[in-house]
């Protein structure tokens, strides 16, 4: 075998190897591994990314007007891109505050905080509890401290002691302690009781989801067991 051929083959192999390495580690770089809380904790305390966002290990706190409005524990926090946003993953313990006290607690797959708007957007299987009891489960929640409102744009299931209320959209007014909805509302009552479907433009529930008030034209449809006479 000629020396020239060996050299050409060696160079080709080296180039191919280099290309493979560039593809593997630069172009197709794998996502950071799902954070392990234990290992993440070892990274230590980060410095505050903005005036209103404080980091303490993996606990993140949002402030509005100097007052705590939300707080959460996440497995991983990403920030520092210069856009005033922070992404938090695997949120295990979160709380929305009212007058400095926890009002609602939550868990979510991901949280996105935008310091420009002050909004905290949660998604990825959001579960909200109130007073230690499950309150609602949904795909996406937006907490707007400036308006003191939690907005849920998609289908939501509200758990109450009387049953489950399914709504197509929901707005929780933290200050008024009420939940507002519109469109179709399905109330499935527990304990073998029936269910009813409600439709209206202005329906608001109490914070426990058990009582409601509706204004304007509202229709309620239910079925009665005709054999019970």
The answer to whether the beta carbons of residues 145 and 118 sit under 8 Å apart is yes
If one asks whether residue 210 binds other proteins (CB under 8 A), the answer comes out as yes
Binding residues for other proteins restricted to 139-198, rule: CB under 8 A: 160-162, 189, 193-194, 196
Distance spanning both ends of the chain, measured CA to CA: 101
Report the residue number, 54 or 197, with the smaller CB distance to other proteins: 197
**Dihedral of alpha carbons 35, 39, 40, 41, sign:** positive
Span of 26-34, 88-96, 103-111, 209-217 interacting with other proteins by CB under 8 A = 209-217
Report the residue number, 101 or 228, with the smaller CB distance to other proteins: 228
Backbone dihedral angles phi then psi of residue 217, each to the nearest 5 degrees = -65, 120
If one asks whether residue 201 binds other proteins (CB under 8 A), the answer comes out as no
> CB of 138: closest distance to other proteins in angstroms?
21
If one asks whether residue 55 binds other proteins (CB under 8 A), the answer comes out as no
Report the residue number, 123 or 208, with the smaller CB distance to other proteins: 208
Number of residues that bind other proteins (CB under 8 A): 31
Q: Give the tokens for residue 116.
A: 């420009």
The answer to whether the beta carbons of residues 126 and 150 sit under 8 Å apart is no
Q: Give the tokens for residue 34.
A: 């799902």
């Amino acid at each position: 075998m000629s020396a020239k051929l060996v050299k050409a083959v060696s160079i080709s192999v080296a180039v191919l190897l280099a290309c493979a390495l560039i593809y593997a580690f630069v172009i197709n770089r794998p996502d950071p591994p799902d954070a392990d809380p234990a290992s993440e904790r070892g990274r230590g305390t980060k410095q505050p990314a903005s005036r209103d966002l404080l980091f303490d290990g993996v606990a993140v706190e949002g402030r509005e007007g100097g007052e705590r409005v939300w707080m959460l524990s996440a497995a991983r926090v990403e920030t520092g891109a210069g856009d005033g946003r922070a992404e938090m993953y695997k949120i295990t313990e979160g709380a929305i505050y009212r007058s400095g006290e926890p009002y609602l607690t939550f868990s979510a797959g991901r949280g996105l905080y935008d310091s420009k708007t002050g909004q905290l957007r949660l998604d990825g299987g959001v579960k909200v509890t109130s007073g230690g009891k499950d309150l609602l489960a949904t795909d996406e929640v937006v907490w707007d401290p400036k308006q003191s409102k939690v907005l849920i744009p998609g289908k939501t299931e509200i758990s109450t002691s009387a049953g489950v209320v399914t709504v197509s959209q929901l707005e929780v007014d933290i200050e008024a302690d009420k939940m507002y909805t519109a469109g179709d509302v399905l109330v499935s009552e527990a304990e073998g009781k029936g269910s009813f479907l409600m439709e209206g433009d202005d329906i608001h529930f109490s914070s426990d989801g058990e009582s409601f008030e509706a204004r304007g034209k509202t229709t309620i449809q239910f079925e009665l067991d005709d054999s019970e006479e």
